[in-house]
Amino acid sequence: MRHPRALLLLSLAIALASCHRGNSRASLRNESPRLVSILVEVYDPNTNLVWENVSVRVVEADQEWSRCTCVSPYVDWYLTDSSGRVLLDEYLLADADVGFQEDGSGRAVLGPRRDEDEATVVLEIDALGFVPVIVEVPLAWDQPDVFVEVPFD
């Protein structure tokens, strides 16, 4: 009589464990796309002071979901502020037309699926009298907001 009860308890434990695993897989499939952004800080590596009014633009992006390296058809420059920073938010990244998937509001997103959860954005940093600097910024669904410090001299 003990054996049937033990078998029943073992079967119940296995069933519960498989239900739990199934739910975690379903929750991964139901994760929402995430908005992406890049906060760029431009600084002088010799003095560690930040640069104000330095131009930053989105050159291109390598999109995992489309297998496309999309070059921006625009040459839109954004200037760093008094803190040496410029925010390339989800709207600016979508407007750069570099292949990001977009949500219903036209904002750049990365999806949770393995084939749509990464992108690499190429930025150009420039100012009059300086040699331009090119920076590659990786974005991922699990880290959609990135802060990048760029030495510029």
d(CA 45, CA 36): 27
- Residue 7, SS3? helix
Share of the chain above pLDDT 90, in %: 80
Q: What is the pLDDT of residue 31?
A: 87
Q: Write out pLDDT tens, residues 46-59.
A: 999 999 999 999 99
d(CA 82, CA 124) in angstroms, rounded, equals 19
pLDDT band at 14 (very low <50, low <70, confident <90, very high): low
Instruction: Write phi, then psi, for 26 (nearest 5 degrees).
Output: -65, -40
pLDDT digits (tens, 9 = 90+) for 63-96: 999 999 999 999 999 999 999 999 999 999 999 9
Nearest to 36 by CA among 85, 99, 114, 125: 99
